[in-house]
Structure 1
Amino acid sequence: MRTPEETFPTHFTFGVATSAYQVEGGIENDWAEWERAGKLKEPHARCGRAVDHWRRYEEDYALAKAVGATAFRISLEWARIEPERGRFDEAALEAYRERLLKMKAQGLRPVVTLHHFTHPSWFHRETPWHLPQSVPTFRRYARRCAALLEGLDALVISFNEPMVLLLGGYLQGAIPPGIADGALTMRALENMVRAHAAARQELLERLGRVELGISQNMLAFTPDRWWHPLDRALVRLASPAYNHAFHEALASGHLRVNMPGVASTRVSIPEARDSVEFIGVNYYSRAHLRFVPRPPFIEFKYRDTRGRGLTDIGWEDWPEGFLQTLRDVKRYGRPVWITENGIDDRAGSRRPHYLHSHLAQVLAARAEGVDVQGYLYWSLLDNFEWLEGWGPRFGLYHVDFDTLERRPTPACDYFRAVATQRRLVAPGSSL
C-alpha cells in the first residue's frame, strides 16, 4: 500500500498554463510597442504571430488532454477586447467565449486570468495604474469579461504576478510602462489592490459566485553573504514586501510595504478584505540578496549552491524553497493553487526531474496540512518569453518556431503518468 505522501487525492487537479500575448499571436498592445522600441534583451525580437494559438487552440486543447491535464489556464487579452478606451470588440469577446466553451466541452476546467502583464496601447497614456482612474477602467473591463464566464465553473485570476509588473514596470523601468519611481510604484500597487476588489464586485454581480484569486510570483530568499547583517536584513524585508504584501492586502484589507530607501506604504483598503477564495502561487527559484550602497540598494543573484546546475534561463533549481513557500501561504486559510511552476530546459532532458522534485514538495506540503488543490505546469508550449524573447523553452511540448510544429518532450510522458496514476513516479522508471 502506498503512503499518503506518495499519492494525490482524486480531487487534485493537474493542468497547464499559458498567457495570451505569449502564445496567441497578432496582438497589438503596450508590449508590442516596447518591442518595436528595441527594449528587449534581444532588441530585434518580436512576438508577432507567437505560436499561433489563436488559430490552433483546439489542437492545443488536445495536446493538454493528451498529457492528462484537466485544467487549462489562459489569459484574456485586454487589448483585443478593448482596443480603444471605452470601445469593446464584440467579435473578440465572442471568440473568447467560443474558446472557453470548447475548452469546457473537452473536459478542461477553464482557469481564466483577466490581466497577465499586458495592456491596451492607450492604457498607460490615459489611465495608468498610478492614477485613481485606473480602478474604474479595470472595473469596466472586468464587467465585460464576467459575461464570458457564465456557466463555466472557471477559476478566475484577477492579476498575474502584480509585484513583478510593479517591480519591473514602475521601480526598475525595465518593462512597460518604463517608470522608475518608488512613490508611483506604491500608488500603482494600491490601485491594483482596489482594482481587484472592484473586479470581484462585478464578477459577483454577474455570476452570483466566483472562485477568485491572484497569481503571485513567490521567491525563496536567502542572504548572498550569510555573515553580512545588511544582506540578512534585506531578506527579512523582502519576503513580506514581495511575496506577501498583495496577498495580505486581499486577506486583511491592509496594504503594508516596508522597504526603506526603495518604496514603502501603509494604507487601509477595507473593500479588499477577504476578497479571494484561493491563493495562487507561481514558484520558480530562490534569489540571493546582496546589499549595495546605491539605490535601490538590492542586487538579486542566482547561485548554484547544490551543484544541480542553473536552469537555462539562469535561475537556481531550488525545490526546497517551494515547500517553504507553501508553508508560508497556509496562514491565509484558503485553498492553494500552483498557478505556475516550470523550468527553462532547452535540451528537454531535465524537466522530468524538475517535475519530480517539485511535485514531491507539493505532496510534502499537503502532508503538513496545506490545502493544495491543483498544479498548473508552465507552460504547455514553448513560447515568447517577455524580455528574453525566443531563447527560453518552458514547454511540455517543443515548438519549432519556424514551422510551429508541436512535438512532445520527454516530460510529456512523465506528466501524463503522474496526472493519470495520481502518484509520484520516479523519472526514468517504467511509466
Structure 2
Amino acid sequence: MPTFPDNFLWGAATAGHQIEGNNLNSDIWAMEHVSNAPFAEPSGDACDSYHRYEEDIQLLANSGLDSYRFSIEWSRIEPERGQFSRAELEHYRRVILACRQREVTPIVTLNHFTVPAWFSRDGAWGQEGAAELFERFTRYVVGELHALVDWWITFNEPNAGALLLSTGALPLGASADDLAAAQAVLMEQFAARVGGVPGVASMAIPVLAPHAVENVFAAHRFARAAIKEIAPAAKVGWSIAVHDFQAESGGEAQREAILAQAIHPFWAAAREDDFIGVQTYTREVYGPEGRIYAPETPDTMLTGWEFYPPALPHTVAQAHAYTGVPVLVTENGVATSDDEARIRYTREALLGLAELIADGVPVLGYMHWSLIDNWEWHSGFAMTFGLIAFDARTFERTAKPSLGWLGRVAVTNGDSLDDELVPAFAGQD
C-alpha cells in the first residue's frame, strides 16, 4: 500500500502571469506586444483568475486537495521603482485568506519568471543592485503577509537560462535558435516599449550572463535571510527545473556536463534552505551522438515531451541525495487533451514517489501542474496541463475528472492509488 506522511501536502500550482490576466506592468507583457512577438499569442485576460481566484480555490478545496501554490506578481506590487501598491498587496492578502478560509495551505512563490517592466528597463538581473531590489520587494511582501503564510518559494526555475545553454531548449517552450532570433530582432522594440536603452534593457528570463546568474543566487540568499528574520519558523526554498537526464553508453559525459552547468549549482544553493523544490515532467536520454529522442506515441505530451512518469521519483531521489534537504514537488504533470492519460501519468508518478518515501526519502508534498489550463508562455494556450478547463469567452470553469481523482488521492493520503482507475468528478459548488 502507498504510504505518505500524515502531514503530506497535496495540491496544485499556478503562476500569476499565466492565469491572472492583464499583468500590464510586467516585462513579459511588454514583450508580448512588440511586433512579431516570440509568443504564439498574447496572454490577454488569461483565465481571469485575478477576479475569479475564489472560484478556483473553491474547486481545489472541493476536490479534497489541501494546498495551493501560486505566485505574487512583483510588477503589481511595485509597478514603478520604489512605488508600492497597497491595493495590490491587499488583493494577494485576500487570495491567501481565501485559501485559509477553506483550510487550504498557501505556498507562495515570490518570482515566477516575470518582473516589473522598470526592472527590465534598468537591466533586469544583470543590473547593479538587482539582488537588493528583490530583497526589498521580499521584505515588503513578507513583512505584511507572514502571519498568513508558512511556505515561501523565492524563485521559480532560476536555472532556465542554464538549461538553455546546456541543452538548447527551455522548459517554457522555446529553443535557443528561437531566442537568438528574438534577441536580434526584438530587443530594440522591447527597450523602446519599457522606456530603456537597447543593450541595457533586458528580459528577466532566461538569465544567461554569468554576473546576472550570480545576482540571482545572491537574491535568493538575501530573500531567504529576510524571510527568516521576519518569520523564523517559515519554510523557505526555491524550485529548480530538472528533466530526468539519462545516458546510454557514450552519453555519460554530456549528461554530466548538463548536470554540472544547469542543475547541481542550483541544488547546491539549496543546502541552507528548508526544502528543495523539484519540477519535473519527462526524461532526456543522451548517447554518443547527443540527444536520443523517444519515438512519438499516442501519449506523447503536447509539448513533444516523452510520457515518462518515473522521471518524478528519479529526480526527487537525486535532488535529496545531492542537497541533503527535504523535497517539495512544486510541479509535475502532463500537457494532454486526454484526461485519462493525465490520471495514468500522475498515478504512476505518485506510486514511484511513495516507494521513495517508504525508503526514507523526506518528501513534503506534491503540487500538480497545473490547477487550471493556462497561458504557457511561448506556446500560448495550446498546452493543456490543467485539472480544470475554462471557456476563453465566458471564463466558466469545468473540473476535469483528473481533479476529482487527485482529490480522492489526497483525502485518502495516497491509499486510493491502489484502487482501479475509475475517474471521479470533483464537486462543482
Give TM-score, length-normalised by structure 2: 0.84
Q: What is the number of residues matched between the two proteins? A: 390
Where does residue 141 of structure 1 map in the other structure? 137
Q: Helix, strand or coil: the match of 1:93?
A: helix
Counterpart of 1:234 in 2: which secondary structure?
Answer: helix
Match of 2:334 in 1: 343
Are 1:394 and 2:377 matched, yes or no?
no
Residues 284-303 of structure 1: matches in 2 within 5 Å? 284-289=281-286, 302-303=293-294
Matched, 1:428 2:424: no
Quote the offset at 1:169 in angstroms. Answer: 9.8
Q: Deviations over 1:77-112 (max 9, x none)?
A: 011011111111111111111221221121011100
1:246 counterpart = 2:244: no
Task: Answer 1 or 2: which has greater helix percent.
Answer: 2
Spell out, residue by residue over 1:335-369, the C-alpha distance to the aligned partner (whole angstroms, 9 max, x if none). Answer: 21101111111232311101111101110111221
Match of 2:305 in 1: 315
* Between 401-410 and 350-359, the greater mean CA deviation after superposition: 401-410
Deviation at 1:203, TM superposition (A): 1.5
Amino acid at match of 1:344: A
Aligned in 2, Cα 1:113/1:69: closer, same or farther, shift over 3 Å? same
Corresponding residue number in structure 2 for 1:185? 209
Select the structure with the greater relative contact order (CA < 8 A; seq sep ≥ 6): 2
Q: Which residue of 1 aligns with 2:255?
A: 235
Pick closer, same or farther for the CA change 1:62–1:386 going to 2, 3 Å: same
Distance 1:10 1:325, change over 3 A: same
Cα–Cα, structure 1 residues 427 and 144, in superposed 2: closer, same or farther, change >3 Å? Answer: farther
Amino acid in structure 2 at the alignment position of 1:238 = I
Q: Does the C-alpha gap of structure 1 residues 114 and 50 become closer, same or farther in structure 2, counting only changes over 3 Å?
A: same
Mapped to 2, the partners of 1:18 and 1:180 lie a distance apart of 18
Q: Which range is displaced more, 168-177 or 311-320? A: 168-177
* Aligned ranges 1:1-400 → 2 under 5 Å: 3=1, 6-28=2-24, 29-37=26-34, 38-42=36-40, 45-165=41-161, 167=163, 172=176, 173=179, 177=202, 185-223=209-247, 226-227=248-249, 229=250, 231-251=251-271, 274=272, 276-289=273-286, 302-304=293-295, 309-331=299-321, 332-400=323-391
Q: CA 1:360 to 1:74, structure 2 compared with 1: closer, same or farther past 3 Å?
A: same
Deviations 1:276-296 (A, max 9, x none): 10111111111234788xxxx
Q: Which residue of 1 aligns with 2:191?
A: none
Secondary structure of residue in 1 paired with 2:125: coil
C-alpha separation in 1, matches of 2:282 and 2:117: 32
Greater CA deviation, 6-15 or 75-84?
6-15
Amino acid at match of 1:15: G
8 Å contact from structure 2 (residues 120, 204) kept in 1: no
Unaligned runs of 5+ in 1: 252-273, 293-298
Q: Residue 187 of structure 2 corresponds to which residue in structure 1?
A: none
Cα–Cα, structure 1 residues 180 and 330, in superposed 2: closer, same or farther, change >3 Å? closer
SS at match of 1:323: helix
Matched residues in 2 for 1:345 and 1:245: separation?
A: 32
Report the structure, 1 or 2, having the larger strand content. 1
Task: Report the TM-score when normalising by structure 1.
Answer: 0.84
**Structure 1 residue 10: Cα displacement:** 2.0
Distance 2:95 2:351 in 1: 33
For 2:400 and 2:205, the matched residues in 1 are separated by 40
Superimposed CA distance per residue, residues 146-203 of structure 1 (whole angstroms, 9 cap, x where no aligned partner): 1232222421000000011554599944689469999x52222211111011112221
- Unaligned runs of 5+ residues in structure 2 are 169-175, 184-201, 425-429
CA–CA distance in structure 2, aligned partners of residues 388 and 233 of structure 1: 31
Contact 1:104 1:110 in 2 (8 A): yes
Cα distance in structure 2, aligned partners of 1:342 and 1:420: 19
Q: What is the rounded CA distance, in whole Å, between the counterparts of 1:313 and 1:239 in structure 2?
A: 22
- Take 2:69 and 2:136, find their aligned partners in 1: how far apart are those partners? 23
Contact in 1 for aligned 2:21/2:48 (Cα 8 Å):
yes
Query: Aligned-pair distance for 1:409?
Result: 1.3
Structure 1 pair 290–84 and aligned structure 2 pair: CA distance change class (3 A):
farther
Q: How large is the RMSD of aligned CA atoms in angstroms?
A: 2.5
Offset, 1:124: 1.9
